[in-house]
Each structure stands twice: as structure tokens, then as C-alpha cells.
Structure 1
Amino acid sequence: MDTTFVKGLTLIELLANSDEPRGVTSLARELDLTKSNVHRLLTTLVATGYVRRNDANASYELSSKVWEIGLKVGSRFNLAKIARPHMTQLAELTGESVHLSVLDMAEVVYMDKIESLQPIRSYTSVGGRAPAWCVATGKAMLAQLPPETLRLRLTQPLTAFTDQTMTDADVLAAEFAAIRKQGYAVNRGEWRDGVFGIASAISDATGRVVGAIGISGPGTRFKPREIKSWGLMVVEAAQAVSRLVGGTGRGD
């Protein structure tokens, strides 16, 4: 048996079960390995794209590459397949485009999308990315992260893409608190001028956020009354998907 390979797999599993990025010292202690051994393993995993290093505090966490592999072989846990019926229902109820996103550091990756049938709609593509602090699905997921993890992901200074983009840490903290309280996030033209969105996070059996479901479209159609009613619909859809992947579906 290749012991180095086994150590590498054990390290990947440990990082997968960690809620926050980990340092070499704590990893070495938990694995009962020397720090130099762990550092060599991490260097290899970073070079092969399975782990990413945060230079700000020399911590490590898994990259989206592990998730991408899991999507190919994890038919028993296919989030897009599970969420699709609820996305379809949401599209029918609102008439807007519906997205399913996952979080990759400070960006969202669009896993699935149902296009609105309306002539004027938002334009995104499956596999595309967007800054998480600017879009509804991203804000919904960021709001559920532990403060330290959130701080590491949203490294200042943040880029402003429109006049509505929130970049101040205190403003974002207040925004995330409001999102946790009401259960859904709203993007009011923060990524692209005039494009609004509403989204809610999806959680698994451990309470960990695994994605977000949301709608988007021209801001002219997102009036206060619609935002409130559609927000409740989005929360209901996210909670339904959460229950299907083992979560409580309570939006805790």
C-alpha cells in the first residue's frame, strides 16, 4: 500500500470535514504527522488543484475540483437533479429565470438554470461565475458562513461593479444579518445595472450550505410586493431541496 497516497486521501477527508480553512500545525497534530510531511502533501495537492492556499494566513481548504469530480460520480447526490423540479415550479410561479448556484471562495458557479420565457430577462450561463457579494445566490450563501470563514473569503478591498455594489465590510455584515433574519437575499442591481435577484440557501444534513436557489430578471419587474411574495416562494423552494438532501429545511 502506498502510504503517501493514503496520507493524501486522509488529508483531503480531513479538509472536507473542516468548517474553516486549516493551518499546517493543526492538520499535523490531528493527523499525527510531522509539519514538514503535511506541508509536502499540501504542496502536492495545491499543485494538482485539489487544495487552495490562502496566502493571508497560510491556511488551506479544498478547491472546487473535488466537487467537480463528485458531480461526475455522485449520482446519489446530484443537487441539480434534485433541485430541478422545484426550479421548474419556481419558474412557472414567477415567470423569471431560475438559478442553482454553489459557492467557490468568493464566487458563485452556476450549476443549472431555467430561462425565463419573457423577451427581457437576465443572461447567465451554466458553468459561468459571478462575484458572490454582488448576486442574490452568493449573498444567500455567504450570509450562512462563520464570521472567520467569511472574512477570509471576502478579502478587502472588494470590487464595485455598479453604483449599487456593497463593498464596505460593515454594510455587508448588516446585509448578511438581514438575510439570515428574513431567509432570503436580494440583489438590487449590484452585479449588473438594472438586474435584480432573490435567492435562498440550501443546507445539507450537517447544516452546511451546499448551494442556493434563486430567481433573477429586470429590476422593473421586481417591485416591493413581488420581492416579498417571490422571496417567500424562493425560501420554500430552497427548504424543500434542503429536506431532500438531508437538511431540516427550516432555514436555520
Structure 2
Amino acid sequence: MDTTFVKGLQVIEALATHPQLTGVTELAKHLGLTKSNAHRLLQTLVACGYVRNLEQSGKYELTLKLWELGAAVVGRLDLKTVAVEYMERLCQLSGETVHLSVLEGTEVIYLDKVDSPHPVRAYSRVGGRAPAYCVATGKALLSYASASLIDQISLELKPFTPYTLTTPNELRNELEKQRQLGYAVNRGEWRDGVCGIAAPIWNAGGHVCAAIGVSGPSDRFKPRNLKLLAPTVVSVAQQISARLGYRPQRETAAATAGVAELAASAA
């Protein structure tokens, strides 16, 4: 291992995490380096464009070069490419059809899917659309949508089955509940007899960019089954989010529990 290179990385990490601008003496003390060693590392990083020296104060700070590199990496991450292995795993764990969806206007579009091995399963097609307020992935996305979009959808509510949400209050209450739980449920609201559960996926910018969910016939999606499946769905969404660069400030209890559930199920 190149110890000089490692020390350089430690300097970068220290500058990134220290709450205030840092001088040579303080940095050397923090990292257990000699002042001459710390100064030499800082000068190398300055020459490479990763650090700048604020000459008036003698302090050092990071430039935006690391951010530029990170943004380039994030920009190459393709949602479908990242999500596919997690979709396949979720299908294996649940035995149900898995969907990856994004929001477009008031509808969801199915970007990708992995079919259930069961002969009786949810029917859908990649590129297909559904009213966002009627399906689990759509409701997971709407839980974090703008108030103006929710207002727009509230004016377009219409029943597709006896279970469809048809009033603005029902929709808003449902979305608030889902936001607290960390996942959304479809109780046969789009197609009678087809249910689902989904969780939002977050990107590196801290925004919900997609949703992943499972769906199938209602006789396999009883309330107890949905409750048992929820932590696994949330955990898979959380892992995809992490691969996309999302770093949450705090996690819901459901998401935290989901990590343990997924690990136990995969073991």
C-alpha cells in the first residue's frame, strides 16, 4: 500500500469533514503527521487542484474538483442498469412481479419489470402507463410530489374499481400515511384483484426519482402478507438509492428494519 497516497486521502477527508478552515499545524496534529509532512501533502494537493490555500489566513480548504468528479460518476449511473440486480433479487425474495416506475405528469411509466415465476401474476408491460394515484409505485412517487401536482390529480380522480381513491381528502390522507410508513400500497385500486406494494427511490440530489414495487393477485397480497413484505421492499429501494449516490440524513424505522429483513431473507 502506498502510504503517501493514503495520507493524501486522509488530508482530503479531514478537510472535507472539519467544520472550519484548517491550518497546517492543526491538520498535522489531527492526523498525527509532522508539520513538514502535512505541508508537503497540502502543496501537492494544491498543485493538483484539489485544495486551495487562503493566503491571508494561512488556512486550507477543498476546491470543487472532488464534487466535479463525483458528479461525473453520478451522471454515468443509469437507473435501469443500477436497479436490475435488485429487481431480480426482490423477485426471488417475494415470488412476485417487480416493477421499476417513474412519474410522468399524472401517470407512472413502467421502465422495467421482472416477471413472477407464478403462472398467475400481475400483467403489465415495459413502457406501459397507469394513473399514479391507483398503483403502488405511483403512490410512492406522489407521496413526495409537489402540492401543485397533487392538486391537479385531485381534480382528475375517477373510479376504476370499488377500491379506487376518489376524493381529494382520501388521496391526501393516504399519501401522508404512506410518507410516514416509507412505502405505498395498492389494494386493487387500478385493476380489481391486483394488489401491490412499493417504495420510493432517491437520487444523489436528495430527490425521489423512481419507485420499485411488487404486485400480484389479491389472494397473495393479504394485509398480513403486505406487512411482512414491506421491510424488504423498502430495503431494496434504499439500496438502489445508495447506489445512485443518495445519503439520507435520517432513516425511517421501516427502512432500518428492512435492512435486517433483507439480510435475513438473503442469507
TM-score (norm 2): 0.64
Q: CA deviation at 1:206?
A: 1.9
Paired residues of 1:98 and 1:214 also in contact (CA < 8 A)? yes
How far does the alpha carbon of each residue in 1:142-175 deviate from its partner, in whole angstroms, 9 at most, with x for none? 01113233223x1513121111000211111110
User: What CA distance in whole angstroms lies between the structure 1 residues aligned with 2:206 and 2:151?
Assistant: 20
User: What CA distance in whole angstroms lies between the structure 2 residues aligned with 1:225 and 1:135?
Assistant: 19
Paired residues of 1:187 and 1:196 also in contact (CA < 8 A)? yes
User: What CA distance in whole angstroms lies between the structure 1 residues aligned with 2:125 and 2:75?
Assistant: 22
Q: CA deviation at 1:202?
A: 0.5
Which residue of structure 1 lines up, in the alignment, with residue 151 of structure 2? 151
Number of aligned residue pairs: 178
Which residue of structure 2 lines up, in the alignment, with residue 83 of structure 1? 83
Which residue of structure 1 lines up, in the alignment, with residue 217 of structure 2? 218
Which residue of structure 2 lines up, in the alignment, with residue 92 of structure 1? 92
Q: CA deviation at 1:208?
A: 1.3
**Which piece of structure 1 moves more, 195-204 or 141-150?**
141-150
Which residue of structure 2 lines up, in the alignment, with residue 113 of structure 1? 113
**Which piece of structure 1 moves more, 143-152 or 174-183?**
143-152
Paired residues of 2:106 and 2:149 also in contact (CA < 8 A)? no
**Which piece of structure 1 moves more, 165-174 or 220-229?**
220-229
Which residue of structure 2 lines up, in the alignment, with residue 200 of structure 1? 199
User: What CA distance in whole angstroms lies between the structure 1 residues aligned with 2:232 and 2:183?
Assistant: 10
Paired residues of 1:239 and 1:251 also in contact (CA < 8 A)? no
How far does the alpha carbon of each residue in 1:223-252 deviate from its partner, in whole angstroms, 9 at most, with x for none? 222101211111001010111111125567
SS of the residue aligned with 2:215? strand
Give the counterpart letter for 1:165 in structure 2.
Answer: T
How far does the alpha carbon of each residue in 1:132-151 deviate from its partner, in whole angstroms, 9 at most, with x for none? 00000000000111323322
User: What CA distance in whole angstroms lies between the structure 2 residues aligned with 1:241 and 1:130?
Assistant: 23
1:22-101 to 2 correspondences below 5 Å? 76-101=76-101
User: What CA distance in whole angstroms lies between the structure 2 residues aligned with 1:205 and 1:114?
Assistant: 25
How far does the alpha carbon of each residue in 1:9-38 deviate from its partner, in whole angstroms, 9 at most, with x for none? xxxxxxxxxxxxxxxxxxxxxxxxxxxxxx
Q: Which has the larger radius of gyration?
A: 2
- What residue ranges of structure 1 are gaps of 5+ in the alignment? 1-73
User: What CA distance in whole angstroms lies between the structure 2 residues aligned with 1:217 and 1:251?
Assistant: 28
Paired residues of 2:109 and 2:127 also in contact (CA < 8 A)? yes
Give the counterpart letter for 1:182 in structure 2.
Answer: L
Which residue of structure 2 lines up, in the alignment, with residue 247 of structure 1? 246
Which residue of structure 1 lines up, in the alignment, with residue 182 of structure 2? 183
Give the counterpart letter for 2:247 in structure 1.
Answer: T
Give the counterpart letter for 1:192 in structure 2.
Answer: R
Paired residues of 1:201 and 1:209 also in contact (CA < 8 A)? yes
Q: CA deviation at 1:77?
A: 2.3
Which residue of structure 2 lines up, in the alignment, with residue 134 of structure 1? 134
- What residue ranges of structure 2 are gaps of 5+ in the alignment? 1-73, 253-267
Where in structure 1 do 4 or more consecutive aligned residues deviate above 3 Å?
249-252
How far does the alpha carbon of each residue in 1:91-141 deviate from its partner, in whole angstroms, 9 at most, with x for none? 001100000000001100000000001011000000000000000000000
* Percent identity between the two aligned chains: 48
User: What CA distance in whole angstroms lies between the structure 2 residues aligned with 1:157 and 1:86?
Assistant: 34
User: What CA distance in whole angstroms lies between the structure 1 residues aligned with 2:148 and 2:155?
Assistant: 14
SS of the residue aligned with 1:201? strand
Q: How much is the aligned-residue C-alpha RMSD, in angstroms?
A: 1.6
Paired residues of 1:183 and 1:251 also in contact (CA < 8 A)? no
Paired residues of 1:162 and 1:189 also in contact (CA < 8 A)? yes
